[in-house]
């Protein structure tokens, strides 16, 4: 029981303190030391049991204890050295009385014979101490049949001087029991209550079954494996190289690579259709505009998804599909699958419909909204003067390098929208009462 175990552990702790020249101790210190010793012993016992289970054994062995002590940082050599030095002095305090031996007998592990060889969920095996089950009641004897000839009594054989004549095998037809009535014969076995299992289908002959198998193989041939697919092989090799180069369970080489600002959940769509400032003035003046004259690049497409951080933690893994698509798919296909293009400009006859006040294009030379052709000429003049002064910078192999610059432009939206301010409260619509 737990109380007896605690008493034994407390007495062991008291003996250890007495062996180390302690004359007294408090109850709190005794309980703390007993608790530590109990936990240590429980840890060793459970670890030894786990070693035995891993080895496939049901009982502990000395190798399990040695392996457990090695894991706890104690070697067998250290224990032997301790026993040869300090253990000799401490052995004088380890005397056990008859009462202590009786207490230890309660914790004795029962022998294997007491357990038996059967499992706990199976009935016990029959033994000498187990009471035998009562014999079944004999069947009622049939009515005696009148026999004309009375049965002849069994002859009394004279005891033979030899002691091994009874071992001679005698056929039943030649024995004395052959002429005896059938009362000495065992009863017939009762008819089995379970019906005999009958085959649902008759078993065919081996030759017929073999011919049927040959016919099925000839009429249903095995499909030939498909030829190797280069695209699948390319994807598989790219995924394999990505897994080998970027394993998931390796710690990142930086501590700050995974720290990025939180991206906004909802981002506004900026204007995407550019119009040059000179063309914009012609449109406002009502002049005809040559559409092929000024071809400006549109705004970049918006990504469908964005990587949250450049380096991922081992506990928060990201998908490998974006990187795999970047390696395998062509540029045009990847752009169509990973980015959303802006809606094109609508036309009403020959007039292009643009909305909003417009914003400056990202390639403008000045962020001022009032830039025009005059500003462009003023910016182009110093570039020409600098090109004359430094011929080495503007020439390559004795030839002048072509210069190209986009004109200043403004970006307009291609859809109608209502500008809302965050200071203004949202308008509440009245409920429709039906």
State residue 375's pLDDT score: 40
Q: For residue 104, what are the contacts with CB-CB under 8 A and spacing of at least 6?
A: 8, 96
Q: How confident is the model at residue 373 (pLDDT cuts 50, 70, 90)?
A: very low
State residue 422's pLDDT score: 77
State residue 20's pLDDT score: 78
Is residue 81 scored above 80 in pLDDT?
A: yes
CA dist., res. 58 & res. 391, Å (int): 92
State residue 219's pLDDT score: 92
- Domains present along the chain, CATH in parentheses: 2-115 (1.10.20.10)
Where b means 16+ CB within 10 Å and e means fewer, 41-59 reads eeebeebbeebbeeeeeee
pLDDT per residue as tens digits for the range 392-421: 455 556 666 666 678 888 889 888 877 777
State residue 91's pLDDT score: 72
| Both tokens assigned to 177 | 């029991």
Cβ atoms of 234 and 300 closer than 8 Å = no
State residue 310's pLDDT score: 57
CA dist., res. 306 & res. 329, Å (int): 18
Higher pLDDT, 106 or 37: 37
Higher pLDDT, 373 or 239: 239
| Both tokens assigned to 98 | 């008859």
Nearest to 274 by CA among 104, 410, 141, 374: 410
**C-alpha dist (Å) from residue 263 to 259, 306, 319, 331:** 12, 9, 18, 26
Q: Kindly calculate the radius of gyration of the chain based on its CA atoms and give it in whole angstroms.
A: 51
Q: Which of 79-88, 102-111, 185-194 has the least mean pLDDT? A: 102-111
CA dist., res. 46 & res. 40, Å (int): 10
Q: Mean pLDDT, the chain, as a whole number?
A: 73
Q: Which of 39-48, 260-269, 294-303, 403-412 has the least mean pLDDT? A: 260-269
Give the mean pLDDT of 64-82.
86
Q: Tally Cβ neighbours within 10 Å of residue 318.
A: 14
| Both tokens assigned to 381 | 């003049």
pTM comes to 0.36
Cβ atoms of 51 and 64 closer than 8 Å = yes
pLDDT per residue as tens digits for the range 17-51: 887 778 788 888 888 999 998 988 888 888 888 88
- Give percent of the chain above pLDDT 70: 61
pLDDT per residue as tens digits for the range 214-255: 999 999 988 887 888 898 999 999 999 988 887 777 666 666
Nearest to 73 by CA among 44, 39, 42: 44
Q: In the beta sheet, which residues pair with residue 346?
A: 353
Is residue 82 scored above 90 in pLDDT?
A: no
Higher pLDDT, 382 or 230: 230
Cβ atoms of 296 and 276 closer than 8 Å = yes
Q: In the beta sheet, which residues pair with residue 360?
A: 410
User: Could you tell me if residue 41 is left (phi over 0), alpha (psi between -120 and 50 degrees) or otherwise beta?
Assistant: alpha
State residue 378's pLDDT score: 38
Higher pLDDT, 383 or 260: 260
Q: What share of the chain is helix, strand, coil (3-state, %, to 5)?
A: 40, 5, 55
CA dist., res. 189 & res. 193, Å (int): 12
Q: Which of 137-146, 375-384, 419-428 has the least mean pLDDT? A: 375-384
User: Could you tell me if residue 61 is left (phi over 0), alpha (psi between -120 and 50 degrees) or otherwise beta?
Assistant: beta
CA dist., res. 414 & res. 343, Å (int): 7
Is residue 381 scored above 50 in pLDDT?
A: no
Helices marked H in 227-365? 230-245, 277-285, 321-328, 331-338
């Amino acid at each position: 029981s737990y109380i007896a175990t605690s008493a034994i552990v407390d007495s062991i702790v008291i003996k250890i303190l007495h062996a180390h020249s302690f004359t007294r101790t408090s109850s709190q210190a005794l309980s703390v030391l007993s608790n530590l010793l109990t936990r240590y012993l429980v840890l060793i016992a459970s670890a030894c049991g786990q070693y035995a289970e891993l080895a496939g054994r049901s009982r502990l062995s000395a190798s399990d204890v040695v392996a457990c002590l090695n894991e706890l940082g104690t070697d067998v050599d250290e224990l032997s050295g301790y026993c040869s030095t300090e253990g000799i002095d401490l052995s004088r305090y380890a005397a056990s009385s008859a009462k202590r031996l009786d207490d230890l007998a309660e914790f004795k592990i029962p022998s294997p014979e007491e357990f038996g060889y059967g499992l706990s969920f199976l009935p016990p095996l029959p033994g000498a101490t187990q009471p035998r089950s009562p014999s079944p009641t004999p069947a009622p004897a049939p009515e005696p049949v009148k026999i004309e000839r009375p049965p002849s009594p069994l002859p009394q054989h004279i005891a033979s001087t030899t002691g091994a004549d009874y071992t001679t095998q005698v056929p039943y037809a030649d024995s004395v029991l052959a002429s005896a009535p059938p009362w000495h014969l065992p009863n017939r076995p009762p008819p089995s209550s379970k019906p005999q299992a009958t085959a649902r289908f008759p078993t065919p002959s081996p030759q017929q079954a073999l011919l049927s198998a040959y016919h099925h193989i000839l009429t249903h041939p095995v499909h030939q494996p498909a030829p190797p697919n280069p695209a699948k092989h390319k994807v598989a090799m790219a995924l394999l190289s990505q897994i080998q180069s970027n394993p998931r369970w390796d710690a990142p080489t930086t501590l700050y690579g995974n720290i990025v600002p939180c991206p906004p959940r909802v981002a506004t769509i900026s204007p995407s259709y550019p119009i040059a400032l000179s063309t914009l003035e012609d449109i406002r003046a009502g002049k005809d505009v040559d559409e092929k004259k000024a071809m400006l690049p549109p705004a970049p497409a918006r990504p469908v998804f964005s990587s949250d951080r450049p380096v991922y933690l081992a506990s928060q893994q990201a998908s490998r599909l974006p990187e795999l698509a970047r390696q395998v798919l062509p540029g045009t296909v990847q752009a169509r699958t990973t980015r959303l293009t802006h809606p094109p400009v609508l036309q009403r006859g020959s007039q292009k419909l643009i909305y909003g006040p417009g914003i400056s294009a990202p390639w403008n030379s000045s962020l001022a909204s009032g830039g025009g052709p005059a500003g462009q000429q003023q910016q182009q003049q110093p570039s020409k003067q600098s090109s004359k002064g430094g011929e080495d910078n503007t020439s390559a192999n004795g030839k002048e390098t072509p210069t190209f610059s986009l004109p200043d432009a403004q970006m307009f939206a291609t859809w109608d929208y209502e500008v809302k301010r965050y200071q203004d409260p949202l308008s509440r619509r009245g409920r429709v009462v039906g």
